[in-house]
Amino acid sequence: MAQGIMTIVEQRDGEIRKVSYEVVSEARRLADSLNQEVVAVLLGSNIKEKAPTLGHYGADRVIVADDPRLQTYTTDAYVSVIDEIAKANDPAIMLLGASAQGKDLAGRLSARLGVGMAQDCTAFSVEEGKLVAIRPIYAGKAYAKVTFNDDRPHMATARPNVMAMNEPDESRSAEISDANVNVDDNQMKTRVVDVIRDESGKVDLTEADKIVSGGRGMKGPENFKILEDMADVIGASVGASRSAVDAGWRPHTDQVGQTGKVVSPNLYIACGISGAIQHLAGMGTSKVIVAINKDPEAPIFQKADYGVVDDLFKMVPPLTEEFKKYV
């Protein structure tokens, strides 16, 4: 009989991503309500030394698949390995982070396992032994309560920065075991030839705790310097609306929105962003939203916790100077 909660851990360059700690923490809360265990699955190369930290966040067992062919993510290799691990352990629930990698992996894996999957969820609970997920629909204008049939595992991905992350308890340990890695190179449809890295050192928007974003109201790429100055002071990442990206003012990696990155920081400062529905869908779950826009009718104010109706070029530099007094 299927039981326990399995989480698939995401790592990059040998470092476990924050969203995976959030997912393990959420799995721990769900498992406690079911009186069952949490099993974390960690794939990579020379990655085993990172396994104990997953126990600090709530994992009871960590299954490590360590192989040079798993150093860099490829869908075929990861799905093949996780499929075998899942079938051998028969979990009742399987959770992943809704990162770009997690979404890609979850879609293929759910098809391989023959089960349904709820994507980009913002809350989980257990009712009558079954997973219940809450996820945004209609570009974030409504939320759906999703239930699952009897096929196991119940599978879902969790939006980054939404699930509360446990404080690490270093006195807590997990049982660590090795998985057999059976990857048929002839069956692999893709291979990673090269990885071009972002050398800026900036935190990825999906994991950022604070984000300062600019839109069409920035009037040009050179004016994003004032947002970068503010971001440097408060330790934030810089984002942009689709209109700013389409104008060529910022790279697509900075785009926040339904066709860009979905973010959930603790603080989101929107400067010169009117608040098109596709943008709101990408940042609507932010904990605190501050909007600066000279148009009092801008839709962003409907979503904002705090709003300033004024010229952003008059407001942002003085705000940055004020922030310097408190950091």
Give dist(CA 302, CA 248) in Å, integer: 28
Looking at the chain, which residues constitute the CATH 3.40.50.1220 domain(s)?
205-324
Question: Tokens for 70?
Answer: 């798993």
Give dist(CA 160, CA 162) in Å, integer: 6
Least confident segment among 59-68, 134-143, 234-243 = 134-143
As a whole number, the mean pLDDT across the chain is 93
pLDDT digits (tens, 9 = 90+) for 143-171: 999 999 989 999 999 999 999 999 999 99
The identity of residue 146, as a single letter, is V
pLDDT mean over 12-29: 95
Give dist(CA 75, CA 40) in Å, integer: 19
- The whole model's pTM is what? 0.86
Q: Compute CA distances 320 → 158, 223, 315, whole Å.
A: 33, 14, 9
* Residue 302 reports pLDDT greater than 70: yes
- pLDDT at residue 201, rounded to an integer: 67
Topology (CATH level 3) of domain 205-324: Rossmann fold (3.40.50)
Give dist(CA 314, CA 307) in Å, integer: 15
Task: Count the neighbouring beta carbons within 10 Å of the beta carbon of residue 255.
Answer: 23
Residue 197 pLDDT grade (very low, low, confident, very high; cuts 50, 70, 90): confident
Residue 200 pLDDT grade (very low, low, confident, very high; cuts 50, 70, 90): low
Specify the CATH number of the domain 5-187: 3.40.50.620
Looking at the chain, which residues constitute the CATH 3.40.50.620 domain(s)?
5-187
Going along the chain, which residue ranges are E strands?
A: 5-9, 11-12, 15-16, 38-44, 61-66, 93-97, 117-121, 123-127, 130-137, 142-147, 154-158, 175-178, 210-214, 237-240, 267-271, 288-292, 306-308
As a whole number of Å, the CA-based R_g of the chain is 21
- pLDDT at residue 139, rounded to an integer: 77
pLDDT digits (tens, 9 = 90+) for 28-78: 999 999 999 999 999 999 999 999 999 999 999 999 999 998 999 999 999
- pLDDT at residue 283, rounded to an integer: 94
